[in-house]
Structure 1
Amino acid sequence: MMDADGPTIVDTFYEELFSGGPDGRPALEPDMTKSALALHLAVKKLRSRGVSFHRWVPFIHMGKY
């Protein structure tokens, strides 16, 4: 599971956390308040590719953001 889907999850997650920098460039520090949104977008990308339920459902957000 993680071998196939991990790179997609990680790339999408961190791309969102570092988005919103000056002049459209990546930010220098991650915006951790967007962690839940970032994970949602990453899982959404897997789902849009038709990845089966049992491969994307383990990715959950637990935290205060």
Structure 2
Amino acid sequence: MMDEDGPTIVDTFYEELFFGGPDGKPALKPDMTKSALALHLAVKKLRSQGVSFRRWVPFIHIGKL
């Protein structure tokens, strides 16, 4: 599971966390308040690629918003 989907999850997740820096450039520090959103977008990307339920369902966010 992680071998196939890990790169998509990780790339999308960190892309969102570092989005919104000055002048449209990536931020220098991740905005961890967006971790739930970032994971949601990463899983959404997998789903849009037609990945089966069994491959995207294990990715969950546990923690504070």
**TM above 0.5, one fold?**
yes
Structure 2 distance, partners of 1:4, 1:25, is 29
Structure 2 distance, partners of 1:37, 1:29, is 17
Q: Calculate the TM-score normalised by the size of structure 2.
A: 0.99
Partner residue in 2 for 1:23: 23
Letter paired with 1:4: E
Provide the alpha-carbon RMSD of the alignment: 0.3
Give unmatched runs, 5+ long, in structure 2: none
Partner residue in 2 for 1:8: 8
1:57 offset after TM fit, Å?
0.1
Q: How many residue pairs end up in the alignment?
A: 65
After superposing on structure 2, the runs of 4+ consecutive aligned residues of structure 1 that deviate more than 6 Å are: none
Q: Calculate the TM-score normalised by the size of structure 1.
A: 0.99
Partner residue in 2 for 1:42: 42
Give unmatched runs, 5+ long, in structure 1: none
Q: Name the % identity.
A: 88
